[in-house]
Amino acid sequence: MRFSTTQSDICIRKALPSDTNQLCELLFALKTMYGSCTERTLEAFHESYATGIEVGLRCPGNSTWVAQVPAGAIVGFLSTTYRNVLRLGGAVGCLEELFICPTNRRQGIARSLWESAVEELRSHGVRVVEVVTSLAHPGQRQFAKSIGLEWYASIHRVQI
């Protein structure tokens, strides 16, 4: 899928293992922005995360979409998972991560990534998508509301 923004033509496509380095950079920026990154440098982050990103990109049930400018840079990504959930009687999706470079926000990139992901999730029988968000960033709240997110519960996690 291609679309035009105010800055350039953006290509929305599935992420490839060859995108790992650029995805590491974006994830480092995302985790640093929220203060959840224990690695102090991109190099240390890459060492800790690159293999996991590559495995995730190849894993059935995981899907990552990227927004790429003509020069080749990836300026945003969205990742989802899906699984069968007994309490819901079928497949449920989860929007895991969404990040758009600050200079590329408010151009419809997140919406285009979302629409591509939804199309794929529907092809796997998914009709409900859960969104994990800290709601720390006002843009997240606005985007979540714009896609019709209904607030009904909190997701908590425990380290094991």
Q: Which residue in this structure is represented by tokens 């203060």?
A: 35
In a domain, 81, yes or no: yes
Strand order in the sheet with 129-131: 2-4, 9-14, 62-68, 74-85, 90-100, 129-131
pLDDT digits (tens, 9 = 90+) for 105-158: 889 999 999 999 999 999 999 988 887 665 555 566 677 777 776 655 555 554
CATH of the domain at 22: 3.40.630.30
Would you call 64 exposed, middle or buried from its count of C-beta atoms within 10 A (0-12, 13-18, 19+)?
Answer: buried
In a domain, 116, yes or no: yes
Quote the domain boundaries for residue 34: 2-146
Q: Which helix (H) or strand (E) holds 3?
A: strand 2-4
pLDDT at residue 148, rounded to an integer: 73
In a domain, 17, yes or no: yes
pLDDT digits (tens, 9 = 90+) for 18-56: 999 999 999 898 888 877 878 899 999 999 999 999 999
Which pTM value belongs to this model? 0.81
Number of domains in the chain: 1
